[in-house]
Structure 1
Amino acid sequence: MDSQIKHIHQQLVNKEITCTALVQDRLNLLKQNTHNTVNTLLDTLALELAAKVDAKIANGETIGLLEGIPFGIKDVYMVQGTTTTASSNLLKNYKSAYTATAIQKLLDAGAIPLVKENCDSFGHGSSSENTIFGAVKNAINPDLVGGGSSGGSAVNVAKNYTVFSIGGDTGGSVRQPAGYNNIYGLKPTYGRISRYGLMAYASSTDCVGPLAKSIEDVRIVLNIMSGKDVKDQTTYASAEINEASILNTEGIKTIGYFKNFIDNDAIDAQVKLDFLASIEKIKAKGIEVKALDFFESNTLVSTYYTLAMAETASNLSRLDGTNYGNRIESGSLKETYSVTRSENFSEETKRRIVGGNQVLSQGFSDAIYLKGLALRDQISANFENDFNEVDIILSPVTPSTPPKIGDSLKDPHAMYLSDAYTVGFSLGQLPTLTIPQGTATGLQISAAKNNDELVLKFANFLKDTI
């Protein structure tokens, strides 16, 4: 299978390239890039680690598959000693005291971090425009948004600035920018990868996810990061996914799609035509296709944002300039808290905090928040029933193509609706993969919980089918 990781690994082992030259080349590309993907360049650390890899190779020592492979990190992950800003004014000078579990596993495997990547502030956005570092520009057309919130991570992979990057997916923040930039992006089953050291947005749906240019690279990185972590009680032990297993797709007999997603007035006409054409190609391979009923996209978006805003209001309540962040002194302690938060949070973050506090407040929580929790349970039950009928659910990643930079900021409601096809799978905590095929922004493959392997299998099948 295609794999940049394996190709570079072989080049290093064969001494066709040095790790130092490889890393310096990618650092130069990141320095020169005009897509606003870089928050902090980790050049000193990267070159130190590269020199160690070169020394091992020179001494005839065996190196691991990920050893010496350059990667990027969305700027919401703690990496000890590095600045972790969440692309926010509040944390623009904050330095991590520890390293996130998922990132530490990659470092232990020898992968080399190059960059902390630009994103929507605290993950609040679907375009990577809500950032103090300037809007991330799309890898294919720089007049368009890079997608969000992991826009910098997706663009860096698409432009070959990093071999892979680690994003964060709460309601589609890996999958949507992957689709906008024509690469692969995986949201694994909730709990498969530890969230420890990832700045929390909505804790019940936050997932660590890899972005890469091949299914094989996604598989390799997923295996390294997966596993139970005593620091995150939502994690579980998971079996390694091997390459041979995802080459065998004979067990996939039936797929489904949500007909209300496709018959929706909001979907772009070309996206609809391309999706239906992909369905026909799958049918031609002898796979049964079923049209399924699901919740309306407006219901999914409303449920997701009700719960996500409530959780982010709670999670960000600790950021008042006392223990963390850029404190702005005022006349009293209460005023200091107020000014610090109002001046340092982005408009979108403030919108989500206010909305979250509203749905949690007395008089509203029963009518709104508890209803959202009940709807999430119904959505999960719907998925359980669907996966008794089909092996895979296929959907477009987005209803339309990427907007121009600036358009989403003028219309936050339209930005929320761009998540219509991704948030349902987040609420269901399902493994879901964006592939760069089928429509202008790709296709989304989902399976039942813990069936991440099946998602990669079907992606491999589609690679040669559509």
Structure 2
Amino acid sequence: MDSKIKEIHQQLVSKQITCTALVQEKLDLLKQNTYNSVNSLLDTLALELAAKVDAKITNGETIGLLEGIPFGIKDVYMVQGTYTTASSDLLKNYKSPYTATAIQKLLDAGAIPLVKENCDSFGHGSSSENTIFGAVKNAVNPELVGGGSSGGSAVNVALDYTVFSIGGDTGGSIRQPAGYNHIYGLKPTYGRISRYGLMAYASSTDCVGPLAKSIEDIRIVLNVMSGKDPKDQTSTTSEEITEEGIAASSIKTVGYFKNFIESEAIDAQIKADFLAAIEKIKAKGIAVKELDFFKSDILVSTYYTLAMAETASNLSRLDGTNYGNRIEGDNLIDTYAVTRSENFSEETKRRIVGGNQVLSQGFSDEIYLKGLALRDQISENFSKDFEEVDVILSPVTPAAPPKIGDSLKDPLAMYLSDAYTVGFSLGQLPTLTVPQGTTTGLQITAAKNNDELVMQFANFLKDTL
């Protein structure tokens, strides 16, 4: 099974390459890159860790599979002693006092962090243009957006600047940029990986996940990061996913949402390509079933109602008092106001204002509680669907990536680009983007805790499409 991690591991063990040379090569690429994918380099740390790996190999010691493998980190994860800016003015000088659990597990396995990666500020966006470091450029066509909010992470993987990267997915922020840049991106089952040390956007749907160029690399990294964490009460225990498990073929029935494909919003070419993929799947003897689901505009409005409410609550701590770029006003209240007004982006302010609106007296019953009820209905709908089908297949986005600048002119269009990803986030389901089928890939979803199944079907599609 294809795996860049295994390939590099073998080269290190057989002394075809040194870890120091490998890391230096990747750092040089990151320094020279013109895609705005880098917020800060971790070059000193990376080279120190690489030297230790080389010393172990020279001494004849055994190294682990991830030991010496260079990776990138979306700039919303704490890594002790490094800048963690969330691509924002407010935190542009903030240094992490601790390390996120998921990242620590990778460090413990010997993986080498190279870079904090550009993203939409606080994860607020679907294009990675909402950032103080400049819009991330698409790896396939630099005139287009890199996707968001994990755009820098996706672009670095696509261009081989990192072997894999760790993104964050709240409503599609791993899956959509993975599709835009023709790589794999996984949003695991909610809770499979600890969120401790990830800056919270919407706590009920935030997920830690990997981006890579192969399914096997996704599997390897997922296994290392997974597990119960006493620091995150929403985290769960999970079984290890084996290479044999995802090489098997147990899927007999695939479903797809008819209203996604019949929507007026879908690009004609993406629709045609999706239906062609369905026919190829049928030709392999797999049953395909049309499913009814909530309209995409209901999914988007439900998701953004809840996500904005949660982000308003989560970002209320950022007032310049304990951390962040404080701007003094005439009094304490004025200091809070000017600090937040000057340091938050327009998109972040839009989401905070929207969130406070739906939580305010007179609106919370009519809007927020209705959103919670709809989320429950969406989850129930999924439970019924997975009684009939093994996995659900869908386009990742209704359209190809827009040109840089277009999304900033039309925030509503940006929200609607998430139409096919947010429903699976509300259901807290495992969903994997694969770079086959349409110009922005396909999305495979399974029932909760069936992360193995989405990778298994991804292997099938790799050989089928």
Q: Which residue of 2 aligns with 1:317?
A: 316
Verify: 1:108 aligned to 2:108, yes or no: yes
Verify: 1:335 aligned to 2:353, yes or no: no
Q: How does 1:226-241 map onto structure 2 within 5 Å?
A: 226-241=226-241
Question: What is the identity, as a one-letter code, of the residue corresponding to 1:446?
Answer: T
Instruction: Report runs of 4+ in structure 1 exceeding 6 Å deviation.
Output: none
Superposition TM-score, scaled by structure 2 size: 1.00
Query: For the residues of structure 2 that align with 1:166 and 1:256, how far apart are their CA atoms?
Result: 29
Q: How does 1:9-20 map onto structure 2 within 5 Å?
A: 9-20=9-20
Verify: 1:441 aligned to 2:443, yes or no: no
Q: Which residue of 2 aligns with 1:50?
A: 50
Q: Which residue of 2 aligns with 1:31?
A: 31
Verify: 1:123 aligned to 2:99, yes or no: no
Q: How does 1:307-456 map onto structure 2 within 5 Å?
A: 307-456=306-455
How many Å apart are 1:324 and its aligned residue?
1.0
Write the deviation string for residues 389-412 of structure 1: whole angstroms up to 9, x where unpaired. Answer: 000000000000000000000000
Query: For the residues of structure 1 that align with 2:245 and 2:184, how far apart are their CA atoms?
Result: 19
Q: How does 1:68-83 map onto structure 2 within 5 Å?
A: 68-83=68-83
Query: For the residues of structure 1 that align with 2:412 and 2:8, how far apart are their CA atoms?
Result: 43
Write the deviation string for residues 197-226 of structure 1: whole angstroms up to 9, x where unpaired. Answer: 000000000000100000000000000000
Question: What is the identity, as a one-letter code, of the residue corresponding to 1:130?
Answer: N
Query: For the residues of structure 2 that align with 1:392 and 1:236, how far apart are their CA atoms?
Result: 22
Query: For the residues of structure 2 that align with 1:245 and 1:322, how far apart are their CA atoms?
Result: 50
Superposition TM-score, scaled by structure 1 size: 1.00
Question: What is the identity, as a one-letter code, of the residue corresponding to 2:35?
Answer: H
Query: For the residues of structure 2 that align with 1:330 and 1:237, how far apart are their CA atoms?
Result: 48
How many equivalent residue pairs? 465
CA RMSD of aligned residues (A): 0.2
Verify: 1:255 aligned to 2:254, yes or no: yes
Q: Per the alignment, in what secondary structure is the counterpart of residue 205 of structure 1?
A: coil
How many Å apart are 1:262 and its aligned residue?
0.1
Query: For the residues of structure 2 that align with 1:245 and 1:437, how far apart are their CA atoms?
Result: 21
Question: What is the identity, as a one-letter code, of the residue corresponding to 1:169?
Answer: D
Q: Which residue of 2 aligns with 1:210?
A: 210
Question: What is the identity, as a one-letter code, of the residue corresponding to 1:282?
Answer: I
Query: For the residues of structure 1 that align with 2:158 and 2:26, how far apart are their CA atoms?
Result: 13
How many Å apart are 1:104 and its aligned residue?
0.1
Q: How does 1:91-102 map onto structure 2 within 5 Å?
A: 91-102=91-102
Question: What is the identity, as a one-letter code, of the residue corresponding to 1:167?
Answer: G
Q: Percent identity?
A: 86
How many Å apart are 1:413 and its aligned residue?
0.1
How many Å apart are 1:40 and its aligned residue?
0.5
Q: Per the alignment, in what secondary structure is the counterpart of residue 34 of structure 1?
A: coil
Query: For the residues of structure 1 that align with 2:411 and 2:97, how far apart are their CA atoms?
Result: 34
How many Å apart are 1:345 and its aligned residue?
0.1
Query: For the residues of structure 2 that align with 1:428 and 1:244, how far apart are their CA atoms?
Result: 28
Q: How does 1:255-274 map onto structure 2 within 5 Å?
A: 255-274=254-273
Q: Which residue of 1 aligns with 2:65?
A: 65
Q: Per the alignment, in what secondary structure is the counterpart of residue 394 of structure 2?
A: strand
Q: Per the alignment, in what secondary structure is the counterpart of residue 72 of structure 2?
A: strand
Write the deviation string for residues 408-428 of structure 1: whole angstroms up to 9, x where unpaired. Answer: 000000000000000000000
Question: What is the identity, as a one-letter code, of the residue corresponding to 1:457?
Answer: Q
Query: For the residues of structure 2 that align with 1:76 and 1:248, how far apart are their CA atoms?
Result: 35
Query: For the residues of structure 2 that align with 1:89 and 1:314, how far apart are their CA atoms?
Result: 19
Question: What is the identity, as a one-letter code, of the residue corresponding to 1:324?
Answer: Y
Question: What is the identity, as a one-letter code, of the residue corresponding to 2:79?
Answer: V
Query: For the residues of structure 2 that align with 1:307 and 1:247, how far apart are their CA atoms?
Result: 37
Q: Which residue of 2 aligns with 1:219?
A: 219
Question: What is the identity, as a one-letter code, of the residue corresponding to 1:62?
Answer: T
Query: For the residues of structure 2 that align with 1:255 and 1:84, how far apart are their CA atoms?
Result: 41
Q: Which residue of 2 aligns with 1:153?
A: 153
Verify: 1:132 aligned to 2:132, yes or no: yes
Question: What is the identity, as a one-letter code, of the residue corresponding to 2:159?
Answer: K
Verify: 1:299 aligned to 2:298, yes or no: yes
Q: Per the alignment, in what secondary structure is the counterpart of residue 166 of structure 1?
A: strand
Question: What is the identity, as a one-letter code, of the residue corresponding to 2:95?
Answer: K
Question: What is the identity, as a one-letter code, of the residue corresponding to 2:328?
Answer: E
Query: For the residues of structure 2 that align with 1:347 and 1:141, how far apart are their CA atoms?
Result: 26
Query: For the residues of structure 2 that align with 1:357 and 1:343, how far apart are their CA atoms?
Result: 19
Query: For the residues of structure 2 that align with 1:245 and 1:189, how far apart are their CA atoms?
Result: 17
Write the deviation string for residues 13-62 of structure 1: whole angstroms up to 9, x where unpaired. Answer: 00000000000000000000000000010000000000000000000000
